Amino acid sequence: MSELGEDLRRALRHWVTGVSIVTSQFGDVRHGMTVNSLASVSLEPPVILLTLQHATRTYQLVSQSRIVGITFLGDSQSELSDRFAGKIPEDVDRFTGLETFTWKTGAPLIAGGTAYLDCRVRSVYPLDESTLFILDVIAARPAADDLPLVYFNRLYHRLCQ
Protein backbone atom coordinates (compact mmCIF):
# COMPACT_ATOMS: atom_id res chain seq x y z
CA MET A 1 0.00 0.00 0.00
CA SER A 2 1.24 3.49 -0.79
CA GLU A 3 2.23 5.99 1.88
CA LEU A 4 -0.88 8.04 1.08
CA GLY A 5 -3.02 4.90 1.38
CA GLU A 6 -1.57 4.20 4.83
CA ASP A 7 -2.15 7.84 5.86
CA LEU A 8 -5.76 7.56 4.69
CA ARG A 9 -6.22 4.30 6.63
CA ARG A 10 -4.94 5.96 9.82
CA ALA A 11 -7.11 9.04 9.23
CA LEU A 12 -10.24 6.95 8.66
CA ARG A 13 -9.75 5.30 12.05
CA HIS A 14 -11.20 8.56 13.38
CA TRP A 15 -14.43 8.12 11.41
CA VAL A 16 -17.17 6.23 13.28
CA THR A 17 -19.04 3.70 11.16
CA GLY A 18 -21.78 1.17 11.59
CA VAL A 19 -21.08 -2.52 11.06
CA SER A 20 -22.92 -4.74 8.61
CA ILE A 21 -22.60 -8.12 6.99
CA VAL A 22 -22.86 -8.19 3.20
CA THR A 23 -23.94 -11.50 1.70
CA SER A 24 -24.57 -12.94 -1.72
CA GLN A 25 -25.37 -16.24 -3.35
CA PHE A 26 -24.76 -17.67 -6.79
CA GLY A 27 -26.18 -21.12 -7.41
CA ASP A 28 -25.60 -23.18 -4.28
CA VAL A 29 -22.63 -21.08 -3.14
CA ARG A 30 -23.16 -18.35 -0.56
CA HIS A 31 -20.70 -16.21 1.29
CA GLY A 32 -20.57 -13.01 3.27
CA MET A 33 -18.22 -10.58 4.88
CA THR A 34 -18.24 -7.82 7.46
CA VAL A 35 -18.11 -4.34 5.91
CA ASN A 36 -18.41 -0.73 6.89
CA SER A 37 -17.74 0.66 3.40
CA LEU A 38 -21.33 1.38 2.43
CA ALA A 39 -23.37 4.55 2.31
CA SER A 40 -26.77 5.87 1.32
CA VAL A 41 -26.83 7.64 -2.04
CA SER A 42 -30.52 8.43 -2.51
CA LEU A 43 -33.89 7.75 -0.88
CA GLU A 44 -35.82 8.34 -4.13
CA PRO A 45 -34.89 6.18 -5.89
CA PRO A 46 -33.58 4.04 -3.02
CA VAL A 47 -29.87 3.58 -3.82
CA ILE A 48 -26.79 2.78 -1.73
CA LEU A 49 -23.14 2.23 -2.55
CA LEU A 50 -20.80 -0.55 -1.46
CA THR A 51 -17.12 -1.23 -2.06
CA LEU A 52 -15.66 -4.74 -2.09
CA GLN A 53 -12.05 -5.82 -2.56
CA HIS A 54 -11.39 -8.02 -5.58
CA ALA A 55 -9.60 -10.68 -3.52
CA THR A 56 -12.77 -11.61 -1.58
CA ARG A 57 -15.19 -14.43 -2.28
CA THR A 58 -18.07 -12.06 -1.59
CA TYR A 59 -16.88 -9.81 -4.44
CA GLN A 60 -16.85 -12.82 -6.77
CA LEU A 61 -20.40 -13.83 -5.82
CA VAL A 62 -21.79 -10.29 -6.11
CA SER A 63 -20.13 -9.93 -9.51
CA GLN A 64 -21.71 -13.19 -10.71
CA SER A 65 -25.16 -12.97 -9.10
CA ARG A 66 -25.63 -9.18 -9.02
CA ILE A 67 -27.58 -9.53 -5.76
CA VAL A 68 -26.62 -8.34 -2.27
CA GLY A 69 -28.13 -8.86 1.17
CA ILE A 70 -27.11 -6.47 3.95
CA THR A 71 -27.68 -7.19 7.63
CA PHE A 72 -27.00 -4.30 10.02
CA LEU A 73 -25.61 -5.55 13.33
CA GLY A 74 -26.66 -4.63 16.85
CA ASP A 75 -24.29 -3.75 19.67
CA SER A 76 -24.33 -7.30 21.06
CA GLN A 77 -23.25 -8.90 17.77
CA SER A 78 -19.49 -8.27 17.69
CA GLU A 79 -18.81 -12.05 17.63
CA LEU A 80 -20.93 -12.34 14.48
CA SER A 81 -19.01 -9.45 12.95
CA ASP A 82 -15.72 -11.18 13.78
CA ARG A 83 -16.95 -14.44 12.23
CA PHE A 84 -17.70 -12.72 8.91
CA ALA A 85 -14.53 -10.60 9.11
CA GLY A 86 -12.49 -13.76 8.58
CA LYS A 87 -11.50 -14.51 12.15
CA ILE A 88 -12.42 -18.15 11.58
CA PRO A 89 -10.63 -20.40 9.08
CA GLU A 90 -11.42 -19.55 5.45
CA ASP A 91 -12.63 -23.06 4.63
CA VAL A 92 -15.32 -23.00 7.36
CA ASP A 93 -18.88 -22.09 6.34
CA ARG A 94 -19.51 -18.74 8.04
CA PHE A 95 -23.27 -19.42 8.05
CA THR A 96 -23.03 -22.64 10.13
CA GLY A 97 -25.51 -22.53 13.01
CA LEU A 98 -27.10 -19.24 11.92
CA GLU A 99 -30.70 -18.69 10.97
CA THR A 100 -30.96 -17.06 7.56
CA PHE A 101 -33.78 -15.95 5.30
CA THR A 102 -34.24 -14.42 1.86
CA TRP A 103 -36.52 -11.81 0.31
CA LYS A 104 -37.06 -10.73 -3.26
CA THR A 105 -33.56 -11.17 -4.71
CA GLY A 106 -32.68 -14.45 -2.99
CA ALA A 107 -29.62 -12.99 -1.28
CA PRO A 108 -29.18 -14.48 2.21
CA LEU A 109 -29.87 -12.28 5.24
CA ILE A 110 -28.95 -13.18 8.82
CA ALA A 111 -31.72 -13.31 11.42
CA GLY A 112 -31.19 -11.15 14.50
CA GLY A 113 -29.90 -8.01 12.79
CA THR A 114 -31.21 -4.53 13.56
CA ALA A 115 -32.19 -3.82 9.93
CA TYR A 116 -32.00 -5.41 6.49
CA LEU A 117 -31.53 -4.31 2.89
CA ASP A 118 -32.16 -6.52 -0.14
CA CYS A 119 -30.38 -5.11 -3.20
CA ARG A 120 -29.60 -5.55 -6.88
CA VAL A 121 -26.51 -4.20 -8.60
CA ARG A 122 -27.30 -1.09 -10.68
CA SER A 123 -23.79 -0.03 -11.73
CA VAL A 124 -20.22 -1.23 -11.30
CA TYR A 125 -17.12 0.97 -11.14
CA PRO A 126 -13.86 -1.00 -11.03
CA LEU A 127 -10.98 0.52 -9.07
CA ASP A 128 -7.42 -0.80 -8.78
CA GLU A 129 -7.96 -3.40 -6.03
CA SER A 130 -11.68 -3.06 -5.34
CA THR A 131 -14.97 -2.28 -7.06
CA LEU A 132 -17.59 0.31 -6.21
CA PHE A 133 -21.09 -1.13 -6.59
CA ILE A 134 -24.11 1.14 -6.87
CA LEU A 135 -27.07 -0.87 -5.56
CA ASP A 136 -30.82 -0.48 -6.01
CA VAL A 137 -32.54 -1.25 -2.73
CA ILE A 138 -35.39 -3.64 -3.56
CA ALA A 139 -36.59 -4.10 0.03
CA ALA A 140 -35.67 -2.54 3.39
CA ARG A 141 -36.85 -3.20 6.90
CA PRO A 142 -35.84 -2.20 10.40
CA ALA A 143 -36.02 -5.26 12.62
CA ALA A 144 -35.12 -4.29 16.17
CA ASP A 145 -34.74 -1.24 18.36
CA ASP A 146 -31.31 -2.42 19.51
CA LEU A 147 -28.47 0.06 19.37
CA PRO A 148 -26.11 -0.45 16.42
CA LEU A 149 -22.69 -2.00 16.59
CA VAL A 150 -20.21 0.78 15.78
CA TYR A 151 -16.56 0.68 14.81
CA PHE A 152 -14.02 3.34 15.73
CA ASN A 153 -10.21 3.27 15.78
CA ARG A 154 -10.07 -0.47 15.03
CA LEU A 155 -12.39 -1.43 17.94
CA TYR A 156 -16.10 -2.09 18.42
CA HIS A 157 -17.95 0.38 20.63
CA ARG A 158 -21.38 0.73 22.19
CA LEU A 159 -23.46 3.87 22.03
CA CYS A 160 -24.98 5.26 25.24
CA GLN A 161 -28.60 6.31 25.42
The reported pLDDT for the residue numbered 159 is 83
DSSP 51-73: EEETTSHHHHHHHHH-EEEEEEP
The reported pLDDT for the residue numbered 45 is 96
Q: Which residues contact 45 (CB under 8 A, 6 or more apart)?
A: 136
CATH for 16-157 is: 2.30.110.10
Spatial contact of 40 and 48, defined as CB atoms under 8 Å apart: yes
What is the pLDDT tens value at each position of the chain, 161 positions in all? Answer: 788 888 888 887 888 889 999 999 999 999 999 998 899 999 999 999 999 999 999 999 999 999 999 999 999 999 999 999 987 766 678 999 999 999 999 999 999 999 999 999 999 999 999 999 999 999 999 987 889 999 888 888 888 77
Q: Where are the domains positioned within the chain? A: 16-157
